[in-house]
Chain A
Amino acid sequence: MKEDDHQKMIVEEARIFAAEVVRPRAGDFDREEILPRDVIGEMAKRKFLLAGLPVPYGGLGLNPVYYGLFTEEIGKACCSTRGLITIQSSIVGQTLLRWGTEEQKNNWLPPISRGEVLGAFALTEPAVGSDAGGVQTHYRRDGRNFVLNGRKKWISFGEIAGFFIVIASCGSEITAFIVERNRPGVSTNPIKGLLANRAAHLAEIELKDVKIPEDNVVGKPGSGFTFIVATALDHGRYSIAWAGIAIAQEALDCMALYARKRQQFGRRIGEHQLIQRMICNAVTTTHAARALCIKAGEMRMRGNIHAIVETTVAKYFTSKIAMDITSDALQVHGGNGCSNSYPVERLFREAKVLEIIEGTSEIQQQIIAKYGLKAYGRIRKE
């Protein structure tokens, strides 16, 4: 079988899995604020947890474009289930693959793939969000060890992860550490009552005099922000860009289906021009957003140096249109859209979060504007 056909087959397998296992229960996951172990186990059985990683580490070897399409299929069915893949494959998996030692990769990646342990990326704190370089969780050296103290907040899958990649500072030096949950001084508290991502097991993590061996440093001391966080957020943004497509497409599907069936004033509401305008905007922007994501994926596949900014453009645009389309989808549903008997209210809530996570839209706008100022209108030096 050709490699391309093999990758297509995995995406199709994800579509079927999402349709049969995830979508029917997505509302329950949201209401109960739990992604059940049996679903995680089923994903592990299919090697979905590290779908974007090479086969020798337990991945499926999907290239960036097919990994994006795979993410879309899972994300259309359930945002929290997609979130598990974002954290395991894109953020923790790709960061360890890129900058971990061979021992770190072998210790953690295959067990994640088998669903025996989950990872989480612990960057944000109660007082530190967008200003990621200002992390207050700190460390000091103690011989060949490091001692960590501090608190992390909004950590996806922090409640059930077996280890965390913790970003901490020592003066101006920022370093990434692998911190196992069972180390003395580590405790977690689940975060409930969230607008969205309710089944993503968000938690606060407290670190009290946690002793970490130097072998647990990811990269080198001092490389935590510039290289480790940058890598994690870049992969995270790529995944969230596709998460935006997933929500936009699902909302468009819901909107079109409802507009074909629902009758008012003796006509199907899809025959009304103002409803058609909303469907037109949703179709056009979803297609445009998907084109941006595919372009970013192709650039990532080639190792193109502009892939980072193109990914940022895609993440900014898809999260914005996901919000617009879910708002319109809810509007088309009228009163029904405000009820959890229909998926659009959940999609509307989930879309909002995409404008915040992995860098707020305002941070993306700054990055894109700086790129625009650098890239365009320059006078060539002869």
Chain B
Amino acid sequence: MNINDKIRTFIESNLLAFDDDLTINDDDNIFESGFVDSSVAMQLVLFVEEEFSIHVTDEDLDLVNFSSINRIVRFIQQKEQQWNSSHEGR
């Protein structure tokens, strides 16, 4: 399963919607579209930390980072890049 699909599966398991056939596009704002409520934000933090072995810090606390599948993917990739560059040459 690729990174987008992992995130999509997680979001789909937390949908507020009663429609099982709902489709979420990679750029849909999941909060503004009403797919999930803001209480899912902390679960998203735990999810990306557990699933992708990254650490979300106070500097990352911007809801935009978690607002769509593509945004979350970009956030994870940035964190991985940061980690790689800080460990280069060690």
Which one of A304, A367, A378 contacts B39 once the chains associate, using CB atoms below 8 Å?
A367
Q: Are A308 and B58 in contact (CB under 8 A)?
A: no
Cα separation A379 to B62 with both chains bound (whole Å): 33
Contacts of B43 in A (CB 8 A): 305, 308
CA of A303 to CA of B45, assembled, Å: 10
8 Å CB contact of B62 from A222, A308, A374: A222
Q: Who on chain A is nearest to B61 by CB?
A: A223
| Nearest residue, chain B, Cβ from A102 | B58
Given contacts A308-B42, A370-B16, contact A303 B50 (CB under 8 A): yes
Question: Across the interface, do A374 and B49 meet the contact criterion of CB distance under 8 Å?
Answer: no
Within B13-47, the residues touching A (CB, 8 Å) are 13-16, 18, 20, 38-39, 41-43, 45-47
Task: Say whether A99 contacts B58, CB under 8 Å.
Answer: yes
The verdict on A374 contacting B42 (CB below 8 Å), with A220-B61, A222-B63, A223-B62 known, is no
Q: Is there contact, CB below 8 Å, between B46 and A307?
A: yes
Residues of A within 8 A of B61 (CB): 99, 219-220, 223, 227
Residue A375, interface by CB 8 Å: yes
Smallest Cβ distance from B35 to chain A, in angstroms? Answer: 11
* Interface size classification for chain B: 20 to 34
Cross-chain contact B18 with A373 (CB below 8 angstroms): yes
Say if the beta carbon of A9 comes within 8 Å of chain B. no
Q: Contacting A374 at CB < 8 Å: which of B15, B46, B50, B58?
A: B15
User: Is A274's CB within 8 Å of the partner chain B?
Assistant: no
Prevailing SS type, chain A contact patch: helix
- Kindly supply a per-residue 1/0 record for chain B positions 46-62, scoring 1 wherever the CB is within 8 Å of any chain A CB and 0 otherwise: 11011000000011011
Q: Which residues of chain A have C-beta atoms less than 8 A from B16's C-beta? A: 370, 374
Chain B facing A: main interface SS: helix
Within 8 A of A (CB), among B60-81: 61-63
Contact A308 B15, CB 8 Å, known A219-B58, A223-B62, A230-B41: no
In angstroms, Cα B22 to Cα A164, docked, is 43
Contact yes or no, B42 A226, CB < 8 A = yes
- Give, as a whole number of angstroms, the nearest-CB distance from B38 to chain A: 5
In the bound complex, what is the Cα–Cα distance between A99 and B61 (angstroms)? Answer: 9
Given contacts A374-B13, A374-B14, A375-B13, contact A230 B42 (CB under 8 A): yes
Central interface residue in B47, B49, B61, B63, by most chain A CB within 10 Å = B61
CB pair A231–B13 under 8 Å, yes or no, is: no
Which residues of chain B come closer than 8 Å to A374, judged between CB atoms? 13-16
Interface centre among A101, A218, A226, A378 (most CB of B within 10 A): A226
A71 to B81 alpha-carbon distance, docked (Å): 41
Q: Which residues 191-230 of A sit at the B interface, judged by CB distance below 8 A?
A: 218-220, 222-223, 225-227, 230
Any B CB within 8 A of the CB of A73: no
By a CB distance below 8 angstroms, the chain A residues around B41 are 226-227, 230
Answer yes or no: A100 CB below 8 A from chain B CBs: yes
Interface residues of A in 37-93 (CB under 8 A from B): none
Q: A101-B58, A226-B38 are in contact. Are A308 and B63 (CB under 8 A)?
A: no
Q: How far is the CA of A379 from the CA of B22 in the complex (A)?
A: 12
Against B, the Cβ 8 Å flags (1 = close, 0 = not) of A357-382 are 00000000001001001110011000
Given A219-B58, A220-B58, decide whether A227 and B20 contact each other with a Cβ distance below 8 A.
no
**Chain A residues, Cβ within 8 Å of B10:** 305
Verify B45–A227 contact, CB threshold 8 A: yes
Please give the distance in Å from B15's CB to the nearest CB on chain A.
6
A:86-112 near B, CB below 8 Å: 99-101
Say yes or no for A234: interface residue by CB 8 A criterion. Answer: yes
Nearest neighbor of B48 in chain A, beta-carbon distance: A305
Q: Which 9 A-B pairs have the closest CB atoms?
A: A223-B61, A219-B61, A230-B42, A220-B61, A226-B41, A305-B46, A226-B38, A99-B58, A305-B47
16 A-B contacts (beta carbon < 8 Å): A99-B58, A100-B58, A133-B38, A220-B58, A220-B62, A223-B63, A226-B38, A227-B61, A230-B39, A230-B41, A230-B42, A231-B42, A303-B46, A307-B46, A367-B39, A374-B16
- What is A's interface to B at a CB cutoff of 8 Å? 99-101, 133, 218-220, 222-223, 225-227, 230-231, 234, 303-305, 307-308, 367, 370, 373-375, 378-379
10 A-B pairs besides A305-B46, A307-B46, A378-B13 with CB distance below 8 A are A99-B58, A220-B58, A223-B63, A226-B38, A227-B41, A305-B43, A308-B42, A308-B43, A374-B14, A378-B20
